[in-house]
Amino acid sequence: MHTVVVGTSGVTASDVLAVARGGARVELSVEAVAALGAAREIVDALAAKPDPVYGVSTGFGALATRHISQELRAQLQRNIVRSHAAGMGPRVEREVVRALMFLRLKTVCSGHTGVRPEVAQTMADLLNAGITPVVHEYGSLGCSGDLAPLSHCALTLMGEGDAEGPDGVVRPAGELLAAHGIVPVELREKEGLALLNGTDGMLGMLIMALADLDMLYKSADVTAALSLEALLGTDKVLAPELHAIRPHPGQGASAANMLAVLKGSGLTGHHQDDAPRVQDAYSVRCAPQVAGAGRDTMAHARLVAERELASAVDNPVVLPDGRVESNGNFHGAPVAYVLDFLAIAAADLASIAERRTDRLLDKNRSHGLPPFLADDAGVDSGLMIAQYTQAALVSEMKRLAVPASADSIPSSAMQEDHVSMGWSAARKLRTAVDNLTRVLAVELYAATRAIELREGLAPAPASQAVIDAVRSAGVQGPGPDRFLAPDLAAADAFVRGGELVAAAEKVTGPLQ
Per-residue DSSP letters for 4-41?
EEE-SS---HHHHHHHHTT--EEEE-HHHHHHHHHHHH
Does the annotation mark 54 as catalytic?
A: yes
Alpha-helical (H) ranges within 372-421 are 384-400
Peptide bond into 316 cis (omega under 30): yes
229-to-22, 245, 366, 443, 467 alpha-carbon distances in Å: 37, 25, 11, 13, 13
Q: By C-alpha distance, which of 251, 404, 409, 418 is closest to 339?
A: 404
Question: How far is residue 45's CA from residue 61's CA, in Å, rounded to a whole number?
Answer: 23
Q: Provide the residue type at 33 as one letter.
A: V
For the chain, the C-alpha Rg in angstroms (whole number) is: 26
Residues sharing a CB contact under 8 Å with residue 275, sequence separation 6 or more, in sequence order = 367
Residues sharing a CB contact under 8 Å with residue 380, sequence separation 6 or more, in sequence order = 372, 374, 480, 481
**Annotated catalytic residue: which of 54, 138, 282, 388?**
54
Q: Provide the residue type at 83 as one letter.
A: S
Cβ–Cβ < 8 Å for 477, 448: yes
Residues serving a catalytic function are 54
